[in-house]
């Protein structure tokens, strides 16, 4: 059997049109399941050792033959597969709060397993800071969490030389305490009052010498942002801290204005005229750009009695305005994504394009990339046609207005809907909304039937006043109006990805890898510990059943948080790993090119194919683009969370004693992390503050439990807390536990001790 699999794998990988994938994808392509699929993974490893195959970036399986079109992938492959055999490697350092950190070898792609990371103890980090590209020497032993241990011997490239902090003076010296505990001690910045800085000013410093565990750091002030607490200073601090982009370059703005001067709403050759179609947009009420629009018809099918659906998903044709290798394209690539901060949007593209030329505004001719998707009556995909078009949106709806329509037509309950002001629309638009709701619910049911997971997390957004200060918070609802648009965007993304895959080209997929089986095993034990029935949660359908069964249950938060922590992060990659949460084998991002660069690459690729040209395919460049966009997306998410945290901490500074309901969102050996449910502030309770008992920590169960009382605190438990201490500069919030619902620890019955004397007598007999 192994020899047959070996032959099949070699024949498959060495085909001229082969695209590098992971072993499990090869197993699927060859029709192997169960034991045969597991054997294939072992066989591939043996073939790599024998030099007949090679591993490329991201652990993709590549041919070993240097003459093969994709053999360049394997140039550094063996370094990635045998880190213990190499004394040195290079990679990106990610530092934890405790000073220690991890380095991911550069050969490993974004979708690689975290087991490949190298553990770096705090004493072995040198002067490396978070995000630095470093050289590591391996020690040949196992460190934290069983990972290979190493020490940083050189910083090859700094992630940043600039940091934000608060200026103060001490012993005749100027010092800056960098925000967020990036460095354990303050940074010396020279004589007091340099550049007119005053104590408690927020400043940007450039490092002259990075601190290490044997010497202090030194820097110089390069910018003064303003007095701490002054409106807008917190946002500027986060923008500088995360090196978020500022204003667009002059040549970029000039190029946009030239585009605006040339744009006359004419419909040129190669663009299909859809301006007579009934097309609408549905967006949040505060949306400034509109990058997607919808049309939907029922069409007759020859020789059949039933009708098919023809769904039109019309996406802003950003590729018409942003041409490759231009200044505008280079800046869009560098930004890679729009950043949505609580009080500020940093767009990927200048507003001349994002809010005007490319925006699908109502009653204006706008250029689009249209995906026409034909489906059967039950939502089965039949065919997809993608082309450049010109459209004219008939009406702009907000989500709230669509919810009102659904209530007025009896499709959903009218709870909370303003029926005093009925919506005004044409008959065609009214009928379109009805069809949209019908098909969307069909598609939604189909998705869940195939195993899509829906992790329900509390979504709370802060409310800000005109000065950018917190004045409250509100819960975000996922109503049926949101679900309608979500289903159509998912359908378009999947249809486009499948079309590109069928044409045998590389492209940036949206990849959400399968969870680590060990984490799912731990999740199963955790769920059972809550008293819930759970079979093996490595089955997505069992996991789906569990998530559905605990809706409305007091343990719902605990389960959803635990499930989320067991999942991998979604990234951009040409790897055919699929999207686990959506239960999709083939998925990409196509629907938001105004705010996501990967979507723009998909549009360009589709246009090249439609013009009958063969696209230039450079897999190494595509992998690098995917990693860059994934990193920029993660940076944007972290910046948004950090600014939200800062604004909430400022709000709570003078509210010591304020009582909040919260959820345990993290359980560690040293204490509990709590997030408020009405106000999404993240705080901490140190284990020493739980004075009623001595507590022990169980990593697998995400729980700490008392030795005497048996009380326990689990991930997702509801608690009542009070604000105990606030430190805005250190980004720390301490809570005090007020009320809990103690859960007695389930104790297993003790086994009776055997009497060794009886055992001896029995043997003698």
pLDDT tens digit sequence for 532-551 = 888 889 889 999 999 999 98
Question: What domains appear along the chain, each with residue ranges and CATH number?
Answer: 2-80 (1.10.10.10), 82-157 (2.40.50.140), 162-228 (2.40.50.700), 250-492 (no CATH), 653-740 (2.40.50.140)
3 state SS for 503-548 = CCCCCCEEEECCCCHHHHHHHHHHHHHCCCCCCCCCCHHHHHHHHH
Region label for 710, one of left (φ > 0), alpha (ψ between -120 and 50) or beta (otherwise): left
What is the spatial distance between Cα 43 and Cα 3, in angstroms, rounded to a whole number?
A: 9
**What's residue 107's pLDDT?**
62
Whether the CB-CB separation of 517 and 469 falls below 8 Å is answered with no
Mean of per-residue pLDDT scores for the chain: 87
As beta bridge partners, residue 721 has: 660, 737
Q: Name, of 439-448, 617-626, 694-703, 705-714, the range with top average pLDDT.
A: 439-448
What is the spatial distance between Cα 111 and Cα 44, in angstroms, rounded to a whole number?
A: 18
Non-local CB neighbours of 96 within 8 Å, separated by 6+ positions: 102
Question: What's the Cα-to-Cα distance from 302 to each of 299, 306, 307, 308, 562, rounded to whole Å?
Answer: 10, 10, 9, 10, 50
For the full predicted model, state whether its pTM sits above 0.95: no
Lowest mean pLDDT across 2-6, 228-232, 671-675, 746-750: 746-750
pLDDT > 50? residue 746: no
- Tokens at 619, concatenated: 């897999």
Q: For 427-438, what is the mean pLDDT?
A: 96
State the pLDDT confidence band at 45, using cuts at 50, 70 and 90: confident
Reported as a single tens digit per residue, the pLDDT across 700-739 is: 777 898 887 778 898 888 899 999 999 999 999 999 998 6
Non-local CB neighbours of 329 within 8 Å, separated by 6+ positions: 322, 323
**What's residue 726's pLDDT?**
95
The widest CA-to-CA distance across the chain, in whole angstroms, is 105
Helix (H) or strand (E) holding 439: helix 427-449
Q: For 446-471, what is the mean pLDDT?
A: 89
What is the spatial distance between Cα 118 and Cα 541, in angstroms, rounded to a whole number?
A: 34
Reported as a single tens digit per residue, the pLDDT across 133-158 is: 999 998 777 766 667 889 999 999 99
**What's residue 209's pLDDT?**
92
* CA angle 322–592–296, rounded 5-degree value: 115
Whether the CB-CB separation of 356 and 349 falls below 8 Å is answered with no
**What's residue 145's pLDDT?**
62
Non-local CB neighbours of 370 within 8 Å, separated by 6+ positions: 272, 274, 312, 313, 314, 315, 386, 387, 388, 389, 391
Q: For 472-484, what is the mean pLDDT?
A: 89
Rg for the chain, CA atoms, rounded: 29
**What's residue 173's pLDDT?**
92
State the pLDDT confidence band at 104, using cuts at 50, 70 and 90: confident
Closest CA to 606 of 590, 622, 594: 590
pLDDT > 80? residue 408: yes
């Amino acid at each position: 059997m192994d020899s047959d699999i070996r032959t099949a794998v070699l024949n498959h990988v060495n085909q001229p049109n082969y695209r590098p994938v992971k072993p499990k994808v090869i197993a699927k392509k060859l029709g192997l399941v169960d034991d045969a699929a597991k054997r294939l993974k072992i066989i591939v490893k043996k073939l790599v050792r024998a030099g007949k195959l090679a591993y490329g970036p991201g652990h993709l399986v590549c041919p070993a033959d240097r003459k093969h079109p994709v053999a360049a992938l394997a140039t550094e492959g063996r370094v990635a597969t045998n880190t213990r055999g190499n004394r040195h490697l290079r990679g990106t350092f990610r530092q934890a709060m405790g000073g220690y950190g991890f380095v991911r070898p550069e050969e490993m792609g974004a979708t690689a397993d975290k087991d490949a990371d190298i553990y770096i103890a705090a004493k072995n980090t040198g002067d490396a800071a978070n995000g630095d590209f470093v050289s590591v020497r391996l020690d040949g032993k196992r460190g934290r969490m069983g990972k290979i241990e190493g020490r940083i011997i050189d910083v090859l490239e700094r992630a940043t030389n600039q940091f934000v902090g608060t200026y103060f003076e001490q012993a005749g010296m100027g010092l800056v305490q960098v925000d967020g505990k990036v460095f354990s001690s303050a940074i010396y910045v020279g004589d007091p009052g340099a550049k007119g800085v005053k104590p408690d000013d927020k400043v940007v410093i450039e490092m002259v010498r990075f601190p290490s565990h044997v010497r202090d750091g030194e820097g110089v002030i390069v910018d003064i942002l303003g007095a701490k607490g002054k409106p807008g200073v917190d946002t500027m601090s986060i923008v500088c801290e995360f090196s978020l982009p500022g204003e667009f370059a002059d040549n970029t703005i000039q190029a946009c204005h030239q585009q605006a001067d040339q744009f006359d709403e004419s419909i040129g050759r190669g663009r299909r005229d859809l301006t007579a179609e009934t097309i609408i947009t549905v967006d949040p009420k505060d949306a400034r750009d509109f990058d997607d629009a919808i049309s939907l018809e029922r069409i007759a099918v020859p020789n059949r009695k039933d009708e098919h659906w023809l769904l039109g998903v019309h996406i802003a044709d950003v590729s018409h305005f942003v041409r490759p290798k231009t200044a505008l394209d280079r800046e869009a690539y560098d930004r890679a994504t729009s950043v949505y901060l609580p009080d500020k949007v940093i767009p990927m593209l200048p507003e001349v394009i994002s809010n005007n030329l490319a925006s699908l505004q109502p009653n204006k001719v706008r250029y689009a990339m249209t995906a026409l998707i034909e489906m059967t009556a039950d939502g089965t995909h039949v065919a997809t046609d993608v082309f450049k078009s010109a459209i004219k949106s008939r009406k702009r709806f907000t989500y709230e207005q669509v919810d009102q329509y659904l209530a007025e037509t009896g499709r959903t309950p009218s709870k909370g809907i303003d029926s005093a002001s009925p919506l005004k629309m044409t008959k065609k638009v009214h009928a379109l909304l009805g069809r949209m709701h019908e098909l969307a619910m069909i598609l939604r049911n189909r998705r869940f039937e195939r195993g899509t997971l829906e992790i329900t997390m509390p979504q709370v957004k802060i409310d800000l006043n005109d000065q950018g200060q917190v004045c409250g918070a509100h819960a975000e609802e996922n109503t049926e109006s949101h679900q309608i648009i979500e289903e159509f965007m998912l359908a378009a993304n999947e249809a486009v990805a499948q079309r590109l895959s069928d044409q045998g080209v590389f492209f940036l997929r949206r990849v959400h890898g399968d969870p680590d089986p060990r984490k799912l095993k731990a999740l199963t034990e955790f769920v059972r510990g809550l008293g819930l029935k759970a079979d093996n949660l490595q089955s997505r359908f069992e996991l789906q059943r569990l998530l559905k069964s605990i809706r409305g249950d007091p343990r719902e938060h605990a389960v959803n948080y635990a499930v989320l922590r067991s999942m991998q992060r979604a990234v951009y990659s040409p790897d055919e790993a699929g999207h686990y949460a959506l239960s999709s084998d083939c998925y990409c991002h196509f629907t938001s090119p105004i705010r996501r660069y990967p979507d723009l690459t998909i549009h360009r690729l589709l246009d090249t194919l439609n013009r009958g040209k063969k696209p230039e395919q450079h897999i190494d460049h595509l992998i690098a683009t995917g990693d860059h966009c994934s990193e920029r997306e993660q940076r944007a998410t972290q910046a948004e969370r950090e600014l939200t945290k800062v604004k909430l901490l400022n709000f709570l500074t003078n509210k010591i004693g304020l009582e909040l309901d919260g959820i345990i969102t993290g359980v560690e050996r040293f204490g509990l992390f709590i997030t408020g449910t009405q106000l999404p502030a993240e705080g901490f309770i140190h284990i020493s503050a739980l004075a009623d008992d001595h507590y022990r920590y169980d990593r697998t169960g995400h729980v700490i439990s008392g030795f005497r009382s048996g009380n326990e605190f689990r991930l997702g438990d509801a608690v009542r807390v009070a604000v105990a201490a606030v430190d805005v500069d250190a980004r720390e919030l301490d809570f005090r536990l007020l009320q809990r619902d103690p859960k007695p620890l389930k104790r297993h019955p003790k086994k009776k001790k055997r009497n060794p004397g009886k055992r001896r007598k029995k043997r003698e007999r």
